[in-house]
């Protein structure tokens, strides 16, 4: 059996009781920490569950998932994942492979960036499609998120923009402004946006302000940028308490 267990949004205390229980019963416990940032302490977690946790690399989970699945055919294998286990496409793909190989899968959910963004006071149900700001690379079109913002704004929806690994909010804003400058439509100019850093941790920072005024603000990763759509007066009031 394969267990995909979410570590939750910040550190080793964000895992659920169910998650800990399955880890204690498992034959092997692995973790991958590349699909999202995790601020926890693996040793503390090992003490809690009473066994060693082996850290997997991207290729172990993606290219060489066969090994993991082979083991799960005979044993109870846990893969710990930062945040909620089904946010990253990789894990959904892994489940599909397990299904094809007739390996039962148990998924243990957890807190995720998709719910913690509500700490801004913005209502979750009003978010549209999510974008990701990617560091421009040769041959890679990273402008998709600009179209997502435009589509969402046209329907009054908020947009959550995830940031590439090792990208702070300053770099994210720079890329955003550069793409806006290349386009004819100025949908972001003068708009008030939200920068978030390390949500739900003791280092959390949330800043609300005009895009131009936030230029240069470099909040540490993991961070996100939110482009609010049409605001309810309560959302507006909440955002304004953030300063």
231 vs 212: CA distance, rounded Å: 20
Least Å distance, CB 45 to a second copy, is 10
Least Å distance, CB 216 to a second copy, is 28
The nearer residue to a second copy, 89 or 138, going by C-beta atoms, is: 89
Least Å distance, CB 29 to a second copy, is 16
Least Å distance, CB 98 to a second copy, is 11
The nearer residue to a second copy, 69 or 170, going by C-beta atoms, is: 69
Compute CA distances 212 → 17, 24, 125, whole Å.
44, 50, 28
Tokens of 46: 């090992």
194 vs 161: CA distance, rounded Å: 10
Tokens of 28: 């092997």
The nearer residue to a second copy, 125 or 140, going by C-beta atoms, is: 125
- The count of other CB atoms within 10 Å of the CB of residue 26 is 19
Q: How many CA atoms lie within 13 A of 137 on its CB side?
A: 5
Contact 199, 113 (CB under 8 A): yes
Which positions lie near a second copy, rule CB under 8 A? 6, 8-9, 12-18, 20-21, 48, 84, 86-87, 89, 92-93, 95-96, 99, 107, 109-112, 114-116, 118-119, 121, 123-130, 132, 151-152, 155, 157, 162, 200, 234, 237-238, 241
Least Å distance, CB 215 to a second copy, is 26
The nearer residue to a second copy, 215 or 230, going by C-beta atoms, is: 230
């Amino acid at each position: 059996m394969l267990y995909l267990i979410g570590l939750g949004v910040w550190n080793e205390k964000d895992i659920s009781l169910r998650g800990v229980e399955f880890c204690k019963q498992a034959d092997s416990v692995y973790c991958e920490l590349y699909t999202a940032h995790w601020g926890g302490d693996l040793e503390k977690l090992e003490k809690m569950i009473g066994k060693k946790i082996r850290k997997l690399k991207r290729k172990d989970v993606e290219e060489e998932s066969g090994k993991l699945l082979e083991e799960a055919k005979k044993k109870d294998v846990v893969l710990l994942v930062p945040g909620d286990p089904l946010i990253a496409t990789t894990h959904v793909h892994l489940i599909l492979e397990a299904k094809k190989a007739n390996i039962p899968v148990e998924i243990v959910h957890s807190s995720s960036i998709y719910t913690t963004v509500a700490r801004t006071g913005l209502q979750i149900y009003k978010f549209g499609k999510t974008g990701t700001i990617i560091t421009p690379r040769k041959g890679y079109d990273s402008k998709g998120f600009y179209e997502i913002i435009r589509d969402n704004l046209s329907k009054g929806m908020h947009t959550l923009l995830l940031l590439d690994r090792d990208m702070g909010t300053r770099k994210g804003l720079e890329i955003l402004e550069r793409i806006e400058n290349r386009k004819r439509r100025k949908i972001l100019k003068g708009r008030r946006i939200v920068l978030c850093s390390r949500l739900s941790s003791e280092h959390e920072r949330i800043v609300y302000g005009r895009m131009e005024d936030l230029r240069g603000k470099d909040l540490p990763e993991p961070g996100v940028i939110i482009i609010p759509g049409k605001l309810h007066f309560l959302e507006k009031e909440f955002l304004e308490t953030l300063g």
